Amino acid sequence: MALLKINGLKIHYPLRGGLFRRVVDHVKAVDGLSLELQRGETYGLVGESGCGKTTAGRTVIGLIPATSGDILFEGTRISGLPRREFARYRRDIQMIFQDPYSSLNPRKRVLDIVAEPIRNFERLSPQEERRKVQFFVERVGLPAESLLKYPHEFSGGQRQRIGIARALTLNPKLIIADEPVSSLDVSVQAQVLNFMKDIQREFQLTFLLISHDLGIIRHMCDRIGIMYRGRLVEEGTREDVFANPQHIYAKRLISAIPNPDPRQRQEQQRLRLELEQEYEKLKTSYFDHEGRAHPLKRITDTHSAAIL
């Protein structure tokens, strides 16, 4: 059974306007997303800014309500559950946030930050709690003295490790990591990503890794889903998606990665040529010879990707 199953998920944000702030329209941030995560894998959700990745991740963790569709965790429907019932699953699903600067409370010491989930879900004595927090803080590579320090006393990479320690304390099954290294220096990014791989093995974690960076996705993920305008346009193993992307948008993304390896550069060149030909075909089928849109043709996602 899949650890997480997302089925036809739609999340529409109401847009309000006018004098009485009535709902005048909706932003279809996620519009029919379906995917499955198997235990122990890293699934990469990738796509350009605004395609709905963050919204989807936050809905899985219960921060944003789904408009329709289902989210199943270990076979149980968790979307639409009242807060109290959802809390039972909440400890199994943790999140690593994008920004280690704003996601840690600057007024709290590391001990209190990392202990927060424990205090919400477990009743431990202060000694047991401290022992547990210390174990995870040391496990993420920080010295025990860190417990009494405040977030501003750490570097970006260290703060992200504090966020990871906090996510690990309840022994979760699934971790949603939304752009976990995008706010870190490039030199620190690889360290944090490799560390995530280590803890995945050690704690048998499943990752839903959200990123717009295909380099990171390729380094980390077993399977990849490419999101475009609120839904998946392509999904497959890392090898398949990178070697043989099918959807025109996936080809466009992959052909644009800077690549130092000459063999892969050649492959990208081939992909780019193929893509140009496809664009031309699509454009000629959609526009007339003067470049006007065909009045009777409905614009599809593929057309949009070709035209953009």
Ligand X SMILES: Nc1ncnc2c1ncn2[C@@H]1O[C@H](COP(=O)(O)OP(=O)(O)OP(=O)(O)O)[C@@H](O)[C@H]1O
Number of residues that bind ligand X (CB under 6 A): 12
Task: List the one residue out of 31, 85, 23 whose CA is nearest residue 55.
Answer: 31
Under rule CB under 6 A, residue 60 binds ligand X: no
Residue of 55, 59, 79, 146 that binds ligand X (CB under 6 A): 55
Report d(CA 304, CA 284) in Å as an integer. 13
Q: Which residues of 220-246 are buried (b: 16+ CB within 10 A; e: fewer)?
A: bbebbbbbbbbbbbbbbebeebbeebe
Residue of 2, 7, 12, 27 that binds ligand X (CB under 6 A): 27
Residue of 3, 6, 9, 29 that binds ligand X (CB under 6 A): 29
**Contact positions with ligand X (CB under 6 A) in 157-216:** 212
How near is the Cβ of 29 to ligand X at its closest, in Å? 3
> How many H-runs (helices) and E-runs (strands) does the chain carry?
11, 10
Under rule CB under 6 A, residue 49 binds ligand X: yes
Nearest to ligand X of 205, 226 (CB atom): 226
Under rule CB under 6 A, residue 59 binds ligand X: no
Bridge-based pairing of strands 174-178 and 4-17 is unpaired
How near is the Cβ of 212 to ligand X at its closest, in Å? 5
Under rule CB under 6 A, residue 127 binds ligand X: no
Report d(CA 152, CA 137) in Å as an integer. 16
- The gap between the terminal CA atoms of the chain, to the nearest Å, is 39
Residue of 13, 101, 195, 279 that binds ligand X (CB under 6 A): 13
Under rule CB under 6 A, residue 125 binds ligand X: no
Nearest to ligand X of 29, 248 (CB atom): 29
How near is the Cβ of 231 to ligand X at its closest, in Å? 12
Report d(CA 295, CA 275) in Å as an integer. 25
Helix (H, G, I), strand (E, B) or coil at 237: strand
Q: How many CB atoms lie within 10 A of CB 172?
A: 19
230 conformational bin, left if phi > 0, alpha if psi -120 to 50, beta if neither: left
How near is the Cβ of 136 to ligand X at its closest, in Å? 28
Residue of 43, 44, 52, 168 that binds ligand X (CB under 6 A): 52
**Contact positions with ligand X (CB under 6 A) in 205-264:** 212
Binding site for ligand X (CB under 6 A): 13, 27, 29, 47, 49-55, 212
